Chain A
Amino acid sequence: MTAFWVLAPIMVIAALGLVFARKAVHAALCLAVVMISLAVLYAAQGAPFLFAVQIIVYTGAIMMLFLFVLMLVGVESSESVKETIAGQRVAAAAIGLIFGITLVLAVGQTVSGAVTGLKAANGNGNVYGLSDLLFGKYVLAFEFTSALLITAALGAMVLAHKERLTPRHSQADIAARRMQEYAESGRHPGPLPTPGVFARHNAVDTPALLPDGSPLDSSISASLVARGQVRDGFDDDIHEIVEQLEGEGDDK
């Protein structure tokens, strides 16, 4: 019972974090906490096979799939806090409260009597008991799950497949387009300028300075700009340095 009272508050807090976290990656990490805690609760309730399956399938496979898709769809797009439907959150909280009370009342009436425990059912071991049921009583359902998994794999392949509508850009095409751009708009055909690492600060979130002391925006990685992680507040330091140098010159 100790495991339950330690893990239950953690699970509820993590589940609330899943609802309230603004960034999708934080929500995914909260969900992973809930899933691992659930696995421990399975082990505490006499289900060692489900403990292993929960870790391998849920936290191992499904959470990784979620994180992969988050990387594809864009981590930097955090959800806006603005409500699109007026009063949606209050209504959702009220409905959730009513739903929870209904669930507790309905299920509370069905759960009665003492806990039997799994001592007898797990007599030959949990995996033996489960396989006896899976390949005996539930063998038809088990066979159907294989059809379901094959269908799901095929469906995912069809949905994720993309026909190439435009011809592929080769390296020669990209070079030709850059030279064309240089001829038309004067945009520099070479690589982008490096950030102001070491010259001003020891990280790549610092823009390089132009000779007149203004920061060069194109020297910063576009994804840092999208996340709003560009370090600024350096705009006046060039003037401070100039003043210091002039002060030293006066001393001499």
Chain B
Amino acid sequence: MNEYITLSLILFTIGSVGVLVRRNAIVVFMCIELMLNATNLAFVSFSRQHGNLDGQVAAFFVMVVAAAEVVVGLSIIVSIYRTRRSASVDEASLLKS
């Protein structure tokens, strides 16, 4: 098994544990970015494994989508912070009965 793929799996797992454990919305978001980066590494490694550039194009599209996602996600966090004065994911529990 490829070492690069193993590293990307480790990073993806660490990112997913971070999403489960952390409560600051921005840090949770950074963990999601870590997971996206790990998949990009897997794409590039598979591209080298198979000897064609389609994997690199896929990584490029992931980067474009991640840029769009970060912009919208961070503005949602900022608007939540404006109304509730907190960026903790535990605080946003208005719908809880």
Contacts and interface: CB of A to CB of B under 8 A. Distances in A.
Give chain A's interface residue range (CB within 8 Å of chain B): 35 or more
A155 B72 CA distance: 6
A188 to B, nearest CB: 29
Most buried by A among B49, B82, B86: B49
Interface stretch (A53-61, A174-182, A223-231, A239-247): A53-61
A208 interface: no
A12 B10 contact: yes
B71 interface: yes
A132 B43 CA distance: 18
Contacts of A16: 14
A113 B51 CA distance: 12
For the complex, would chain A's binding face be called helix, strand, loop or mixed by DSSP majority?
A: helix
A24 interface: yes
A99 B13 contact: yes
Interface in B24-75: 24, 26-27, 29-31, 33-34, 37, 40-42, 44-45, 47-54, 56-57, 59-61, 63-72, 74-75
A110 to B, nearest CB: 9
Interface residues of B, number: 70
A58 B63 contact: yes
B57 A121 contact: no
Contacts of B33: 31, 58, 62
Nearest to B64: A145
A120 interface: yes
Interface of A: 4, 8, 11-12, 15-16, 18-19, 24, 27-28, 31, 34-35, 38, 41-42, 45-47, 49-50, 53-54, 57-58, 61-62, 65-66, 69-70, 72-74, 77, 79, 84, 88-89, 92-93, 95-96, 99-100, 103-104, 107-108, 111, 113, 115-118, 120-122, 126, 129-130, 133-134, 137-138, 141, 145, 148-149, 151-153, 155-156, 159-160, 162
19 contacts: A19-B17, A24-B26, A34-B37, A49-B60, A62-B70, A66-B70, A69-B77, A72-B78, A88-B21, A96-B13, A103-B12, A104-B1, A116-B48, A116-B50, A126-B56, A134-B57, A137-B54, A152-B71, A156-B75
